[in-house]
Amino acid sequence: MHLLVKGIQHQLTGEVLVPNSKYHAHRALILASLAEGVSRVHGLSDARHVQYTVQLLRGLGVKITTEGDTFVVHGLGGRYRPRRAAVSAGSSGTTLYFMIGLASLSDRDVAVTGQKYFRRRPVGPLLTALRQMGVGVESADDCPPVHVTARRPSGGHVRIAGTLSQWISGLILLAPFATGHTTIEVEGELNERSYLELTVAMMRQFGLAVTVSEDWRRFDVEPGQSAVATELTLPPDIGSAAFGIAAAALHPSDVLLKGMTRLEGGPADHPEFHFLDIARAMGVPMELDEAAGGVRIRQETPMLKGVEVDCRDVPDMLPILSTLGSFAYGESVFHNIAHTRLKESDRAAAMLQLNAMGGDLELDGDALRVRGVEGLVGAKLSSFNDHRVLMSLAVASSRARGHSTLTYPNAYRISYPTFLDAMNTLGVPMSVEDGPAPSGRPRQRRLEKEVAKPDLAARVTLPEWLRRRAASRPHDVAVVDVRAGRDETVTWRELHERVERAASLLLGLGVRPGDNVAYQLPNRVEFVVLSLAALRIGAVCCPVIPFFRERELGFVLRRSRAKVLVVADRYRNRRPAEEVMGLDAEERGELARLVVLAEEGGSAALPEADGSGVTVHDWEKALAGTEVDRAALDAYVPSPDATAQLLFTSGTTGEPKGVTQPSRNLVRAVSMEIRHLGLHAGDAIWVPSPLAHQTGFLYGMTLALVLGVPQITQAEWDAKRALASLNTHGASFVQAATPFLTDLVKAVEEGGDMPRKLRIFVATGAQVPRGLAERAGRVLGADVCGAFGTTETCLGALSAPGDEPAQRWGSDGRPLDGIELRITDDQGHVLPAGVEGNFELRSPTVFDGYLDRPDLTAEVFTEDGWYRTGDLATLDASGYLRITGRVKDVINRGGEKIPVAEIEQLLFAHPAVEDIAVVAMPDARLGERACAFVVCKEGERLGFGEMRAYLDEHQVAKQYWPERLEPLGVLPRNPIGKVQKFALRERARELRPQED
């Protein structure tokens, strides 16, 4: 992906709202967390760096909520209560530097870490200073993660280089909470003084006293202070406004920067306020427009002139000042730049890329010299994942001839999430794109406003989502059907046309709103067409797992009372159409029409139907003979509240039950996931799970439809073909059962190409074995996220790429927004964190009920309306869920419950084990014992004695050891990958314990 910027020559017009100061936000939130009582910080900052501070503070036990545009912080009075052993600063240097020392004010040891690439950020000088202050900090390489001992600092005389103000601010913020007096002395050159002035000013707002020397090189702080809760308003962010100012300065313009009400000020107003003085000195015509509530820049012919600047005063402004200097008359010299080369990137060197565009920049010792030029030309540029470099080069590119592209196109979100919107609003075309440098219109889009807002999304039905895409971008790819020997690509317009024709066909077959339309198809484009066609006329989708045979299919037909069934003429070595006609009249229920698709297109092989009362149709011929009756179709307007889906559970524990879900639940569920994971319009969804199961139907097909991106379906599972299709079609997201993940990892390890764009794999069906998750992250280059969901509830819990690894794939996730989870005992009492019990949830996506079975529906709900999942689980203090087993899978060995999931995880890590399941084995004396069914890797074996020795080596209590080991070639699983433990329990019924 890259950021595409098109050079322009027209006038910039319009107004943009300047966001609130992220610098004030960081400090205010941290100080409020240390105060006793509730503080209110008005003026939300949506900068991702600030969100990292919020998330880290929440991880330390601080309650932070939002009310309108206000942060409400419930301070802990200088004592944090970490919810977990590690907290992350994400990719925010400010969060990291401020919070390493402050983490010592916790009631238990904690590690402070960051995102993967951020773990190379050196913090050695800060760690040395913190140790001088009496803080216990340890790091293997003077980079995150940093392990912090829970004890208050002792204070003392601390010396630190003046290289980065954030290091010094981190020490000053901590000093009032030390047990002794603290003196902080700055050695060498002092940079970024304005940021220190802001830190001290804000500390004083919260009642903390700091004595500062006149030259700001010595800070004396008395011990044992208490912060006072306060209320304050964040000022506008000059650092963000700078990019709007620069854009307006480079072009003819009439631009209003709304929210800026001052052109004079100092560090307490904003540490980068001096940028406004420099911009005016360069000739930017800024004036206050009090009536409009902002600063206006109005000019016909840009005229800038060179300046000399001491970058110690405006350390983060070097990139954008370099851009302005490139279009200024004469030479601009930026002095004292050494510390700017220690930021997110070497910013001085990064801006030398302007030379590749025709600029004239030169590094001269500790200075950067920029000589103005007549103009620039577009080029391929690198942002080095530095938000300031990205935005500065993008603004420069707006004045260049032609197009420019920049790497790490989303880096701007770190500090200025609305940058792209602001530039486009003013008339500077910028967009995020996939693929190589552009030769045509941008392909990347912004999501519609409803997509990631569940309440709004739920009001839009799937046929309406389809209609919108067919109208707004008819030629974009909607579906890719991957089959042996060929891939079929279908655009949004083509999909819409096929759906309209299929919907007319269904009407002609007698289907009406509320009718159940049954279809048993593999993952192919016709499944998508048929689903949307049924919904288009208000009918109900009733997909049947392709693996189901006559017995299960007859059950579905009887229960659903479907009058129409669509099947393929062939599926693997079976003849589904013939199987249907082989059912007796009672088993077929009310079936009147059988529609048959050819396995490979063309005419289908039709079964005999004489005397059955069932009319058989060829899919292609029936469609060809159908005229689209627009008036008849438009007479039916599906409702978000109407039943859209009837799915029969896979029956791993008993008779399948028909689960009914309204349209609003399905769309809401995927919108919740889009928001939770940050999925975007550049994604492509790969769908290996059966579309006839909730995972594939909802988090494959429906997700792609609502997100408006391609879905890549694959009818026959083949890991090597899957790898090829992942790369050919740029798949970036998949949600599927653990066996699919296992096979992909194995295929890459055996020489297959690593998926180039895959970034998220949500593993469902069972907790991902730790060893597999670690391998998958390394081998596939994707984040493996644990999740919990059911057909009845949709997803209830889900981790996310930003979560700590052990929580991301070592748990079953955390609740999505709007969902509540709880663990209860058998009497219904809610259990505390970490205690195993019955897992229950409450969600706006819980199903309407089981078809014609109000008795079964009533059984799965508690008196107060919570859904009983039938699982055993724990919830930790941070809200992460861990499924420990099914209630029916519990092994009770003489009154001792065996932790089945834990034993399975441990045995899975054995080098000889490919797959593992532990189930109960009846025993006359103890009631039950554990039996391990093991699938060994090719060429490997695991004996009973070896298994026991392995468990002994890992110090597992002997009562938990499986007392029999049964080798298998493969574990029995249902079509979506869940182990059928009822089948294994049946096999174990005749088995007896082994002896060494």
Contact call for residues 361 and 354 (beta carbons, < 8 A): yes
When comparing pLDDT for 502 and 977, which is higher?
502
Q: In what order do the strands lie in the sheet with 294-299?
A: 12-17, 253-258, 294-299, 286-289
Residue 39 marked as a ligand binder: no
Tell whether 121 is in a known binding site. yes
Structure tokens belonging to residue 303: 């005229």
DSSP assignment string, 785-831: EEEEEETTTEEEEE--TTS-HHHHTTSS-EEPTT-EEEEE-TTSPBP
Q: Is 468 assigned to a binding site?
A: no
pLDDT band at 651 (very low <50, low <70, confident <90, very high): very low
Say whether 882 counts as a known binding-site residue.
Answer: no
Q: Is the pLDDT of residue 441 over 60?
A: no
- pLDDT at residue 226, as a whole number: 96
973 annotated binding-site participant: no
CB atoms within 10 A of CB 13: 16
Residue 347 among known ligand-binding residues: yes
List pLDDT tens digits, range 53-93: 998 999 999 999 888 789 999 999 999 999 889 999 988 88
Is 316 marked within a binding site? yes
pLDDT exceeds cutoff 60 at 443:
no
Task: Render pLDDT for 606-645 as a digit per residue (tens, 0 to 9).
Answer: 888 777 789 999 999 999 999 998 889 988 989 999 999 9
Length of the chain: 996
Percentage of the chain beyond pLDDT 90 is 61
Question: Residue 410 pLDDT more than 70?
Answer: yes
pLDDT of residue 653: 44
Average pLDDT, the chain: 89
- Catalytic annotation, residues: 316
| 343 annotated binding-site participant | yes
Q: Kindly report the number of other CB atoms within 10 A of residue 479's CB atom.
A: 25
Q: Map out the domains of the chain with their CATH numbers.
A: 2-17+236-433 (3.65.10.10), 22-233 (3.65.10.10), 890-996 (3.30.300.30)
Give the pLDDT confidence of 938-987 residue by residue, as tens digits.
Answer: 899 999 999 999 998 887 778 889 999 999 999 998 766 778 888 898 89
Cβ-proximal residues to 446 (8 Å cutoff; 6+ apart), any chain: 681
Q: What is the Cα 807 distance to its own chain's centre?
A: 14
Percent of the chain with pLDDT over 70: 96
**Residue 652 pLDDT:** 41
Residues 6+ apart with CB under 8 A from 323: 246, 250, 351, 354, 392, 393, 395, 396
Which helix (H) or strand (E) covers residue 565, if one does?
Answer: strand 564-568
Tell me the pLDDT tens digit for each residue of 109-145. 999 998 776 677 788 999 999 999 999 999 988 889 9
